[in-house]
Amino acid sequence: MPRFRLTTPVVFASLVATLLSFTAAAQAATVTGIKVEHREGQTFVTWDNLPGNGWLYHVVSAGVPIQDNLTLENAVELAQVGSQSAVDQRISSLLGQTLTYRIDETQPPLPVERGLFVATPVVGALSYYAVLAERVGFGNPDRTLVMGANSTVDPLLEQVAKPRPIWQRRLTSPVGEDYVLWTTQTPSPVFPAMCNLPGRAFHVGLIKGAKNGALVLHGHGRGGNFFNSFIGTGMPGEWVLSIDDYIPTGDFSSFYFGYEANYDLEQPTNFPRVDGGMIVDYTEQRVMYLLDWANRTMPHDPTRVYAMGVSMGGSFAFFLAWHHPDLIAGSLSVIPKICLGYRPDVYPDLRTSLDRMWGSPEIDLPTTAGERVFQWMDGREQARISRNRGSAPIVAFAGLNDNIVGWSEKVAYFQAMEANRSGGSWYWDPRDHYTPHEQTDWYPMMASRQLYKYKNNQSYPAFSNCSTNSSFGNGDPVTADPIGNINGGIDFDETTIDEMWLHWDVTLRTRGLTTVDGILAPAESLTADVTPRRLQRFIVAEHVFYRYEVRRLSDDALVQEGMVQPDGDAVLTIPAVKVYGSGSRLTVFPSTTTGVTPDLSARLRPHVSLSRNPIANKASLTVQWPGEGDAVVETFDMQGRRVRTEFTGHARGVTEHTFRTAGLAPGIYMVNARQGGKRTTRRVTVLK
C-alpha cells in the first residue's frame, strides 16, 4: 500500500556510524528508471521499484539538479510511498484483480513494478526530482544519487493549472467510464486541498450523455462504493457522475464532507477529535471540483444539475441542496441521515465514527466551510442559518422503523423546515433502513425523473403549513401517521411561472398520490402558505408591502386578495393560499406606500413605485401611466439639475425599469415621470 507523509525538508540527521553501516547495501538500494511528466497542473513521477517488498520511497524535489549531499539537503521531500504504489488498490479490491493506474488516457496502465507519485505544484517553476529508497527497519534511505537513474538530469517546467481526472478504463459491470483524480493537501488558487496527504487518488464514475442532457450527481451509501451509484434517472441523454467517498480506515467514508486536519488516514482506528481542531471540507471540495470539471468539459445543460442518493448518498443529495442551491436544481434523498448532531443517536457506531472524524457535538469544531461542523452537517441548523436563501427543492423518503439513521431526527428537521419556510416534499412509511424500495408503500412516488421539474435558474414555490399534511408526531414513531407525507398533496406547474422585477405568478394545484396499494385522489381544495424561493428577478425587500391575488382557474374568480410584508430575514410568505384541484393562479407584486392604490392615482397622473427606498445598490422602478403616448422618467438632484434619464419612449399601462445607484453620490434625489401634461415626482434616498 502507498504511504504518504506531509511535505517536509529532507533532513537525514543520522549518525556517521549508521551511515557507514548502510553503505554496504547502498548500491542494491538505488532506484533506477526515474521519469517525470508534467501536464495540466500535475507532475507524474515514476520509477522502477526495487525487487521485493518492504521498501519505502522518498520523493524529493529541488530547483537545481539533485546530484550531491548539499543539493539533497536543500531539497524538499514531497512524499514517502510504499511498495506497489502504481497499483490501484481501490479498484483492485472492487474488481477482484490487480490493476494499476494510467497516468494518461493515451498510455497503457503502468507495470506493477513501477513506482508512482503525483505532485500538484502550487507555484510555477523549473524543478528537478529524485527518488531515494529506504529499507523498512533500517531507518535511513540510501543517499546514493545517480543522474538519469534516480535523479532527473533535465529541468521540468511546472505550471499551476486545473488538473483533470484521468480516464482509467471502461467498466462493464456497472457500465460506464472510470476516472481518477489525484489530490493534494496544499491548496492553490485553482485546486483546493481535497485530502490531508499528498498524491492521493480518488475515483469518479461517468456515464456519458448527449449534448444539453441533464447532469446527475449520485452518491453511494456509507461503506459502499461508486459502483453502487452508477445510475441516473433514466432520462435520455443524461450525464451521470458517480462520486466515490472512500477513506481507508474503519470509518469508511466522510459523509461527502471531510474530516479533521490531523485525522490519520494510515491508521485503522483514530482517537476521537478534541477541542482545538479544524474540520476541513476535503470531500465536499472534491465534489464541487468534479462538478466544475463537468461544467468545463461536458456539454450538459447547466441549469439541470441534480443530486440523488440512498442512505449516506441521500445525505449527500440533501446537503448539496442546502449548501449549493445556486448550482443544484433539485435533490432526491432516500433514507438519509440529515441531522448529524442530533442526540440521542439511534446508531452508536455511527456516532463513534463521527466523533473520530469530526469530534462530538458538544465541542462542535469549526470548519473550513465557514460554519461549525454540526451546523454545516445538520439540516435543522441549515434551515435556520440559510433561512433567507433557502435550499434547492428536496424530495425525500424516510422510514418510521429506520434504526440506522433514525426517525426522531426527521421530526426535528420537519419542525425546523416548517418554521423556516424551507419547503420540500417528504414521504414516510413503516420501512426500515434495509427494506427493498419496491416493498415500501411510497415506492411509486420515488421516481427520480420528477427532478426534471426543477431548474436552477427558475424560481419555485416552497410550501408550509399545508392543510393536507399528515401528522409526523412527536418523534416517537407510534405518534406519527403510519403512512404520511408533507407537501405531497400540493403541486405547481413549472411551465406557468412568470417572474419579473415587480411580479411573481404561479399556477398551483392539488395532487393525487400513488402508493403500492393504489391511488389517493387529490383533494378538491386545500390551503398552504407559499414562499417564493430561488428568485431570479422578483425583488423582495424588507419594510415593503406586497399585494397578492388568488384566482380560481376554472372561472377566473378572485377568491383571495390581501397584503403581506416580508419578515426580518426578507422572506416573503403568502399565508393560507386557497388551492383547487382545477388550479389556482397566485400573483404577487409590490404595493405602493402612499396610501393610494395605483389604479386610482394613475387615472390622474403617472404612479411611481419603488421596491425599496432608501436604495443601496438597485431597486425596481415601476410606473403606471394614465394613458398612452410619449413618456419620460428622469432623475434630478436637489438643486433641480437633471442627472440621468431613466426612460424615454412610448408608454402605456405599466412599465418596469431598474433604478441603479451606480454613478450617483449618496443623497436625496427626485424621480420625475411625465406623460403629456401629467407628471409625478417621487423622492429617493441613495445610500453608499
3-state DSSP of 237-255: CCEEEEECCCCCCCCCCCC
Cell numbers 432520462 label which residue? 235
Quick one: average pLDDT of 399-424?
A: 98
Q: Give the model's pLDDT for residue 602.
A: 41
Element (H, E) at 316: helix 312-323
Q: Give the model's pLDDT for residue 432.
A: 98
Confidence of residue 594 (pLDDT cuts 50, 70, 90): very low
Those residues whose C-beta lies under 8 Å from the C-beta of residue 23, and which sit 6 or more positions away, are none
C-alpha cell at 296: 468545463
Report the DSSP pairing between strands 305-310 and 330-334: parallel
Q: What is the tens place of the pLDDT at every residue in 532-577?
A: 999 999 989 888 899 999 999 999 999 999 999 999 999 999 999 9
Burial of 231 by CB count in 10 Å (0-12 exposed, 13-18 middle, 19+ buried)?
Answer: middle
Rg over alpha carbons for the chain, rounded to the nearest Å, is 31
Element (H, E) at 315: helix 312-323
Quick one: average pLDDT of 230-238?
A: 97
Per the CB < 8 A criterion, the answer to whether 626 and 601 are in contact is no
Burial of 318 by CB count in 10 Å (0-12 exposed, 13-18 middle, 19+ buried)?
Answer: buried
**Comparison of pLDDT for 619 and 161, the residue scoring more:** 161
DSSP secondary-structure letter at 92?
Answer: H
Cell numbers 471502461 label which residue? 170
C-alpha cell at 107: 498510455
Q: Give the model's pLDDT for residue 570.
A: 92
Confidence of residue 306 (pLDDT cuts 50, 70, 90): very high
Task: Indicate the average pLDDT of the chain.
Answer: 92
Confidence of residue 150 (pLDDT cuts 50, 70, 90): very high
Confidence of residue 137 (pLDDT cuts 50, 70, 90): confident
pLDDT exceeds cutoff 80 at 370: yes
Per the CB < 8 A criterion, the answer to whether 284 and 320 are in contact is no
Per the CB < 8 A criterion, the answer to whether 617 and 630 are in contact is no
DSSP string over 318-379: HHHHHH-TTT--EEEEES---BTT-SS-S-HHHHHHHHHHH--TTT---BTTSS-HHHHTBH
Q: What is the tens place of the pLDDT at every residue in 454-501?
A: 999 999 999 999 999 999 999 999 999 999 999 999 999 999 999 998
Terminal-residue alpha carbon distance, the chain: 59
Those residues whose C-beta lies under 8 Å from the C-beta of residue 12, and which sit 6 or more positions away, are 140, 141, 143
Q: Give the model's pLDDT for residue 368.
A: 97
Q: What is the tens place of the pLDDT at every residue in 239-252?
A: 999 999 999 999 99
> Domains in the chain, please, with CATH?
8-158 (2.60.40.10), 488-591 (2.60.40), 598-686 (2.60.40.2550)
Give the pTM: 0.85
pLDDT exceeds cutoff 90 at 41: yes
**Comparison of pLDDT for 19 and 536, the residue scoring more:** 536
CA distance 583 to 411: 30
CA distance 468 to 486: 8
Specify the range with the lowest mean pLDDT, choosing from 172-181, 488-497, 555-564, 611-620.
611-620
Q: Give the model's pLDDT for residue 357.
A: 98
Per the CB < 8 A criterion, the answer to whether 488 and 477 are in contact is no
Cell numbers 389556482 label which residue? 584
C-alpha cell at 551: 384566482
Per the CB < 8 A criterion, the answer to whether 104 and 166 are in contact is yes
Confidence of residue 623 (pLDDT cuts 50, 70, 90): confident
Neighbours of 192 (CB within 10 A): 19
Query: Percent of the chain, pLDDT > 90?
Result: 84
Q: Give the model's pLDDT for residue 19.
A: 36
